[in-house]
Chains A and B, each alone.
Chain A
């Protein structure tokens, strides 16, 4: 994951007015839990206007890559709530989500604003990340959930 590239994308997100929240290892990195990852996971608000903002941001960051046209509101608001975009640089990829299962979507993920290199970034809170990760079957998510729980003294809600 190239520093300049990710900062360029995050800056483009902010400039486009995209409503999003980072989740996954990239969000954990903002909270000081550092592990390597290949992707940037994010929820976006599921509206056609917001999908257009996402496309604008990616076009800006990736010099008008024509593949971006394949990211559509019809998919993200319809049968395909998970879209993976591999940009031309080849250094990372993006998992864009509008919903995860029945419960999780942009509106349900508590976020906070972090700043990096003058760019404001919307990042899921440690508690929100923990809630997203603790119930999954993926081993890495279990490890992440345990790390979040320990670092931030999180407790399960009853």
Chain B
């Protein structure tokens, strides 16, 4: 059933969700591709080194 109808948002939220088709990782890749299309990034190139993961995350957030 491609279309489901609900009388309220509560009814919609309570409805069981259909399991998406296809392998999980393929869905993940499609999702990332859509994200990239909506919000393209401009990355630097090369290798960057960090003493901790927190330092690495800060560098990412500051970019």
Contacts and interface: CB of A to CB of B under 8 A. Distances in A.
Interface of A: 1-3, 6, 25-26, 28-32, 34-39, 67-68, 70-71, 75, 79-88, 90-91, 93, 95, 97, 100-101, 114, 116, 138
Interface string B16-57: 000000011111111111111000011111111111110111
B45 to A, nearest CB: 5
Interface residues of B, number: 32
Contact of B36 (A1, A85, A86): A1
B46 A67 contact: yes
A86 to B, nearest CB: 5
Contact of A93 (B30, B43, B55): B43
Contact of A34 (B31, B36, B53): B31
26 contacts: A1-B36, A3-B30, A3-B33, A6-B29, A29-B27, A31-B24, A32-B27, A34-B28, A35-B31, A67-B45, A67-B46, A79-B51, A80-B49, A80-B51, A81-B50, A82-B51, A82-B53, A84-B47, A84-B48, A84-B56, A86-B45, A87-B45, A90-B41, A90-B43, A100-B53, A101-B52
